[in-house]
Structure 1
Amino acid sequence: MPKPLDIPADGRWSVEATVPACLVSQPLATIDQDGLARIRLTVADGRIEAIEAADGPAAGMVLPCFVELHTHLDKGHIWPRRRNPDGTFFGALDNVTLDRETHWSAADVTARMDFSLRCAHAHGTSAIRTHLDSIGKQIGISWPVFAEMREKWAGRIELQAVALFSIEHVSDRAHLSDVSAALRAHDGILGGVTYMVPELDQNLDTLFRLAADNGFDLDFHVDETQDPTARSLAHIAEAALRHRFAGQITVGHCCSLARQEEDEVKATVAKVAEAGIAVVSLPMCNLYLQDRVPGRTPRSRGVTLLHELKAAGVAVAVSSDNTRDPFYAYGDLDALEVFREATRTIHLDHPFGDWPKAVTATPAAVMGVDAGRLRVGGSADFVLFRARSWTELLSRPQSDRVVVRKGRAIDTTLPDYDELDAVLLGSQASSLLLPSD
């Protein structure tokens, strides 16, 4: 397989590799039991010139660049200064709130967001949707920062943002006015965290009307709990049908769906499918937070029912969610890691089928961006791996991957964490550094 130095900066070159057939925009003649086909992919002047069947040995595997549908770039990497004391959801919520109220200046959010985007870019991601905490003064801080990041990263990572706040805030007209102004100014998406409160349906109606009147899409955090009585997913689907909402609706988490009785699950899934709602699961974060009880092994995986939703015709995706913050202490915005862990956790194999779309073509379609597939004439944006099969790809971190953007191999060196020391730790940073030899 070509190494970065072997790929010319300009001109025409090709590679023979395996590829998930579901991620190629043209039919392929021979597909193996794992959904892989052998191709010769030719690049010329930054675009894919040809995708042809190949009979020889594959030099590796090729995937289109990844698409992350659900992240939190404004929270990323605050763990060194604000840990989760017990690994619970409420431990995360309380400590993120404290950190936001104390530290989230424009400079702080800018530094951490840019660091996160550099990681995602090096791993091979070309589009990201982030949720932004949109409460009080933070609306006027994080949205302008996001706008700057979107301009800075244009042509490398396409960025979208969702306003995030609790469903109770919908009753505050001044808050909704501020959020709406930010979304109109920055082409944002209307969101919210939904759970079972008395005013749920009333506030959902308000959000749906606001979205319809302003042309906003909707993206909700939904039922992030093990409580089977958490049923706001069904309420969202009912609101979508009631309002005949024409925009895109996305919901994330939906953990409680996996804890409900089968008849209730079938009814809710049917409503979600009828309403055309897309569902994104966050397997790594949900495994970390859900069903965590001290001294007790978790009984639930915390992920939603992706197989059942997909079988009903619902668009489903998986994504990173949080990165090194109180909601998830780990992660690096590596969508391959997300797919690897989702495969193990949710059983996206035997067969793999078209599950590779969950981190590529499906989230791209939900976001409305031209990404996530390999097509002749399209931009040559893809990732090359030495692995030739799924078992090879998902058994190692693939840290030697080659990321190609517009036909050129990019620098995949990841930023060092110590770059954030001054931002996160201030005067404490020097005392935490290891002594030199």
Structure 2
Amino acid sequence: MSATFRLPASARTWTIADARVPTPLLDKTIGGDGSRTPEVVIADHDGLVAVDIAIVDGRIDRISSAGVLPVTGPVLQRPGLVLPCFVDAHTHIDKGHIWPRAPNPDGSFEGALATVPVDRAAHWTANDVATRMEFSLRAAYAHGTRAIRTHLDSALGQTRISWPVFAETRERWRGRIELQASPLFGIDLALDDAHMHDIADMVGEFGHCFGAVTYPGPALRPGLDRLFRLAADRGFELDFHADETNDPAVNTLAVIAETALAFGFPQRILVGHCCSLALMDPDTMRRTIDLVARAGLSVVSLPLCNMYLQDRDKLQRTPRWRGVTAIKELRAAGVPVMIASDNTRDPFYAYGDLDMLEVWREGTRIAHLDHPVGPWADIVAATPATALGLDRPGRIRVGDPADLVILPARSLSELLARPRQDRIVIRSGRPIDTALPAYAQLDHLEGLAP
């Protein structure tokens, strides 16, 4: 199979034959009439299912066990693995790709916190933000992502620049990538009336999600109370950055859960990072996870960024831990967990390209999401689709647009063993151009030329 697969322009009907799909990414009712097909065969120990997928007029018309029903139209035979397009639940496309002019001086979290505001004040005009957002989305689209939530720096005057830019970008990308946004500011600012008025108006006009960065201090509980109350009044969802630290004494995640329970908050709540949870003593971890489960929170881990920042020592000591949260323990308690890209080529993470396949591959290695790999396949599509409240479930389902990623790998071991630029991305039943944008296309922005 070639990544340059060509489908005749006249083909209204075509078939992907004898494909392998991870069980968690296949809708449970896979018969063409909505009933379960009893002949589905598990292909290997990772739980791959062998199926034929018929596509008609850009939608998935039928899913059947491989070879059971006759195929129609052009046939892509034994393509390897087929996945639904990815859902990236936690990104920062407003600050992506500023690394050439704003490198982190030492790779530390503190270095990132000090570097970004300087670059933001000097460069983040509407044109600068819009151009970098566009570049990021072009890469994500080529990699096979169909939905993204981004956090937008929303302090001081940047709110009035970035939110309108986001709204214009969302309209421009409608039908290709579904975009959501959540404001990013420190919990102390939740007690600032003028700031909250600005943010609430922007979210009310351009988004549906509220949130902040939480950290210990006198503003934590009153700030959370203010955010929850305002979100409840306006029908906003909530999205927090929490406990991005290796200090096990920091546990704002528990306070978020307690506040959600006290409010009986009806909307979805997503919490990112939660790094310190993995370093807490077993009893504190269990109590916190129980609170999170009872409060109905979902948790997104950012394995690449957190491994980059956490436990980085200025004396160049080798890091002693991987930075990720307690993913397995959360999931065992029934908490929806997922992984996402986070930052790309900025002071918080020097690398990355909004490639969810890379995030899955490296997240599997970092957090040992394997043996078997298959049950974890939902963390890059199905679980984040639910956490973001998307209309489609993040699974391959009859009746949905044929938005698929096809990869020439016969097993999950082959899939995750190497980078996969040989993928075919199908959107609404047609292969798209998967060429990635060249970094030189950002050179005209001040300070971004090498």
Match of residue 101 from structure 1: 121
Check if 1:39 corresponds to 2:39.
no
Contact 1:126 1:371 in 2 (8 A): no
Output the amino acid matched with 1:8.
Answer: P
Match of residue 32 from structure 2: none
Alpha-carbon distance between aligned partners in 1 of 2:437 and 2:107, rounded to the nearest angstrom: 26
For residue 141 of structure 2, the aligned residue among 113, 121, 125 is 121
Match of residue 50 from structure 1: 62
Match of residue 423 from structure 2: 401
CA RMSD of aligned residues (A): 1.4
Contact 1:315 1:362 in 2 (8 A): yes
Check if 1:425 corresponds to 2:450.
no
Alpha-carbon distance between aligned partners in 1 of 2:381 and 2:148, rounded to the nearest angstrom: 11
Contact 2:408 2:423 in 1 (8 A): yes
Contact 1:84 1:327 in 2 (8 A): yes
SS at match of 2:213: strand
For residue 108 of structure 2, the aligned residue among 82, 88, 102 is 88
Aligned residues: 428
Match of residue 348 from structure 1: 369
CA deviations over 1:377-396 (Å, ceiling 9, x no partner): 11000000111111111112
Check if 1:188 corresponds to 2:211.
no
Match of residue 7 from structure 1: 7
SS at match of 1:291: coil
Structure 1 residues 371 and 204, CA gap change in structure 2 (3 angstroms)? same
For residue 61 of structure 1, the aligned residue among 81, 91, 94 is 81
TM-score (norm 2): 0.93
Output the amino acid matched with 1:202.
Answer: P
SS at match of 1:313: coil
Alpha-carbon distance between aligned partners in 2 of 1:2 and 1:50, rounded to the nearest angstrom: 24
Alpha-carbon distance between aligned partners in 2 of 1:122 and 1:283, rounded to the nearest angstrom: 22
CA deviations over 1:162-211 (Å, ceiling 9, x no partner): 01100111111100000000011112311100011122111111111010
For residue 162 of structure 2, the aligned residue among 139, 142, 150 is 142
- Cα displacement (A) at 1:411: 0.4
Check if 1:336 corresponds to 2:357.
yes
Match of residue 306 from structure 2: 286
For residue 368 of structure 1, the aligned residue among 384, 389, 396 is 389
Contact 1:162 1:191 in 2 (8 A): yes
CA deviations over 1:81-116 (Å, ceiling 9, x no partner): 000000000100110111111110000000000000
CA deviations over 1:113-165 (Å, ceiling 9, x no partner): 00000000000000000000001111100000000000000000000000110
Structure 1 residues 54 and 102, CA gap change in structure 2 (3 angstroms)? same
Output the amino acid matched with 1:77.
Answer: H
Alpha-carbon distance between aligned partners in 1 of 2:108 and 2:67, rounded to the nearest angstrom: 51
Correspondence 1:267-286 to 2 at 5 A: 267-286=287-306
Output the amino acid matched with 2:157.
Answer: K
Alpha-carbon distance between aligned partners in 2 of 1:386 and 1:168, rounded to the nearest angstrom: 49
CA deviations over 1:384-430 (Å, ceiling 9, x no partner): 0111111111112110100000000000000000000111427xx4x
Alpha-carbon distance between aligned partners in 2 of 1:282 and 1:130, rounded to the nearest angstrom: 13
For residue 390 of structure 1, the aligned residue among 389, 412, 416 is 412
Alpha-carbon distance between aligned partners in 1 of 2:277 and 2:223, rounded to the nearest angstrom: 21
The percent identity for this pair of structures is 56
- Cα displacement (A) at 1:4: 3.9
- Give structure 2 stretches of 5+ with no counterpart: 30-35, 69-76
Alpha-carbon distance between aligned partners in 1 of 2:232 and 2:393, rounded to the nearest angstrom: 27
Alpha-carbon distance between aligned partners in 1 of 2:332 and 2:373, rounded to the nearest angstrom: 14
SS at match of 2:299: strand
TM-score (norm 1): 0.96
Output the amino acid matched with 1:23.
Answer: L
Contact 1:2 1:15 in 2 (8 A): no
